[in-house]
Structure 1
Amino acid sequence: MVARSRLILVLVAGLASLAVTGCKAAAPARDPQAHPGQLVRLADGRRLNLRCSGKGGPTVLLESGFAATSLAWWKVQPKIAKTHRVCSYDRAGYGFSDEGPAPRDGAATARDLDHALRVAKIRGPFILVGHSAGGLYVRLFADRRPRDVVGMVLVDTSIEFQEQRFAAAFGAGAGSLAGIRQRAVRCLEAAERKALPSDDPALVRCTPKPRDGEAAEAADARMAEAVNPANWRTQISELDSLWASTSRAVAAGRGAYGDMPLIVLTAGDAYGDAPEPGRAMVRAFWTGLHREVAARSTRGAQRSVANASHMMMFDQPDAVVAAVAEVSAMSKVGRP
């Protein structure tokens, strides 16, 4: 019983990392966190921040995980830009993008990206890259633009109804993100009271710590986002939608992707802290879920990436870049 309880605690912590993508890695030497890229104005007046670079097709679109901005891809985007046009962006309510209307679910995210690309005149074909919760969002975008999407790379992707699937396999609470939501609620309440930053132990994690060598304007920009109630409202709405309306929309979408190139990358060390024999069980289960997604394409493949945590784009950026290159090559030669 003790071993099972410990396994569930580790699973909860691991599943939390599947969503939370706060950048713990060192910032790039010239941190673009201080300035937006291209602010694209949508029909309702809101602005989304796009960061595009490079040349060559297909255009690669990078979708970050829960609560992460475009800068989650700072190790990956420059490498892809050597051979492709590549765009990352801040979802509504994050980074330099304006807050969007609730709910901030996958359908709203895919719709915003679709509209922003049209306004910015960024045309397909597209290869979609989605990390964690972003894997669900790019699948919904692919449903909106099936003729324009020619391939996908899913980076340790979340799965529709993931909480329910883990709870059914490992017991109640195994797939819960309640702890993350509770923290976001505390941070929202403090932000609305203008009580951030705070030395209160319950609120310290609401605001970012300074990074070594970080420019003052970059630190100020990160702090400005953290003390903005819109950031926390967005996080709560996104969390509340993940295993509900977002999962329902994904499940109602395309059941198969035909022969579209699809690579699902699984982090080999995502559950490295789980006790044995539970660790092997969880890894096998997680890999199996990713194989289910890969099997939706006749040219789908699931691959485990060694020495990679859930934050694979930090740990093993070259694995992501290589998968994009492979999908791009496959998309150009057509079905074998």
Structure 2
Amino acid sequence: MFRTTRTASAATTAALLCAVTGAALTGTHLAPAASASPQHSRLDSLEPVAAATVARRERGGDLFTGIGKIRVGDRSVNVSCSGTPAPHRPVVMLMAGLGDGLDNLSGIQKTLSATGRVCSYDRLGEGESDAPLGPQTMDSTGKVLTAVLDRVAGDRPVVLVGHSLGGLIAARYAPEHLDRVKGLVLLDATPSTMAADLTRIVPPSATGPGADARDGYLAVSQGQNPEMLSFTDGKVRSAGDIPVEVIRHGVPYLAQSIPTYGPALERAWADGERAWLALSPHSRLSVATKSDHYIYLAQPDLVDQAVERVTSRAPGRS
């Protein structure tokens, strides 16, 4: 997995393959989706139950603080929560990119928890969470998120902060859960048209890094990833009038790593980030001028400020 330092080629993989150590660029073997177990997780009636490993219960409620496991259906999900719920302030949920665990987010979580309750979790197949029992979809991964939020936020409103694929999941989840999601911060979120952009820019005759990036992304999006999660292109749906902050990378590493097609991919990525503004009339786009894909590692202060703007505008609970 990629952590705090990355080469140019690794950064390319992180962006186009949603932070997974993809088979095409790194040689890591990923089993074909067809070989996945036909048994699916029982996610149609999720009832999360706290495991004995939960670190500490908060006084006066059933929320917990620390790092521990909760049950989601028949799977165990690793969760981390810190900070104290603040009046009129939503709970912040951090969502990592594909191939990353909640440990990647520990620095930004510690900083943000100084002003309120902040949580993160490992999706099924990531970090310390159980592997999925079968193929995942946006709907099933959203049900896991709902179960986790039920357990760590209760009836409090939440702000989702998603990086890379975590941002794509957050942006797809929010429009269907506006009773709960009161704000979004998208950190170089995977564009909603990434597959179409890649196949348009990188032709079938391409070889080298461009072909690797295209083929690798398409394989990952079809479920060849640790989460066994398949995701497709789609329109950006309205999330009402919630505050939305979109931050895209400013270091053009795609152009450096994929000389032939990189400049066009950079333009497509920038267009994809601007497209997220359609989520809400209260959306704002900024550029992390000193960052590649991992904005929360390169410019954490920029992320802190964006989260503060969104949480201060989002309705909380007294």
Is residue 146 from structure 1 mapped to residue 128 from structure 2 by the alignment? no
Q: How does 1:47-66 map to 2 (within 5 A)?
A: 47-55=76-84, 56=86, 57-66=89-98
What do the CA deviations read for 1:145-190 (whole angstroms, capped 9, x no partner)?
Answer: 211111100000102241222321343465845447989xxxxxxx
Q: What's the CA shift for 1:277? A: 9.1
The one-letter amino acid of 2:139's match is: A
3-state DSSP of counterpart to 1:82? coil
Q: What's the CA shift for 1:297? A: 1.2
Identical aligned pairs, as a percentage?
25
Contact 2:168 2:192 (8 Å CA) reproduced = yes
**Shift in alpha-carbon separation, 1:122–1:38, aligned structure 2, 3 A:** farther
Is residue 302 from structure 1 mapped to residue 285 from structure 2 by the alignment? yes
Distance 1:139 1:326 in 2: 18
Of the candidates 13, 17, 31, which is equivalent to residue 16 of structure 1? Answer: 13
Q: What's the CA shift for 1:288? A: 1.4
Contact 1:256 1:297 (8 Å CA) reproduced = yes
Q: How does 1:257-272 map to 2 (within 5 A)?
A: 257-269=239-251, 270-271=253-254
3-state DSSP of counterpart to 1:73? helix
Of the candidates 132, 147, 159, which is equivalent to residue 115 of structure 1? Answer: 147
Q: How does 1:159-178 map to 2 (within 5 A)?
A: 159-172=191-204, 174=210, 176=213, 178=215
Contact 2:11 2:292 (8 Å CA) reproduced = no
Q: How does 1:89-128 map to 2 (within 5 A)?
A: 89-120=121-152, 122-128=154-160
Of the candidates 235, 247, 262, which is equivalent to residue 226 of structure 2? Answer: 235
Distance 2:165 2:282 in 1: 23
Q: How does 1:1-336 map to 2 (within 5 A)?
A: 15-18=12-15, 19-20=18-19, 37-42=67-72, 44-55=73-84, 56=86, 57-120=89-152, 122-172=154-204, 174=210, 176=213, 178-179=215-216, 235=226, 237-238=228-229, 241-242=230-231, 244=232, 247=233, 251=235, 255-269=237-251, 270-271=253-254, 273-274=256-257, 280-332=263-315
Contact 1:69 1:90 (8 Å CA) reproduced = yes
User: Aligned-residue CA RMSD in angstroms?
Assistant: 3.2
Q: What's the CA shift for 1:17? A: 1.7
3-state DSSP of counterpart to 1:154? strand
Distance 1:79 1:14 in 2: 25
TM-score (normalised: structure 1): 0.66
The alignment covers a number of residue pairs equal to: 254
The one-letter amino acid of 2:138's match is: G
3-state DSSP of counterpart to 2:228? helix
What do the CA deviations read for 1:16-55 (whole angstroms, capped 9, x no partner)?
Answer: 2211267xxxxxxxxxxxx98121112x331111100012
Distance 1:77 1:267 in 2: 20
Unaligned runs of 5+ in 1: 1-10, 23-34, 184-231
Distance 2:147 2:103 in 1: 21
3-state DSSP of counterpart to 1:75? helix
The one-letter amino acid of 1:304's match is: V
Q: What's the CA shift for 1:13? A: 6.8
**Shift in alpha-carbon separation, 1:323–1:47, aligned structure 2, 3 A:** same
What do the CA deviations read for 1:300-325 (whole angstroms, capped 9, x no partner)?
Answer: 12211111010111111111111100
The one-letter amino acid of 2:241's match is: D
Contact 1:91 1:97 (8 Å CA) reproduced = yes
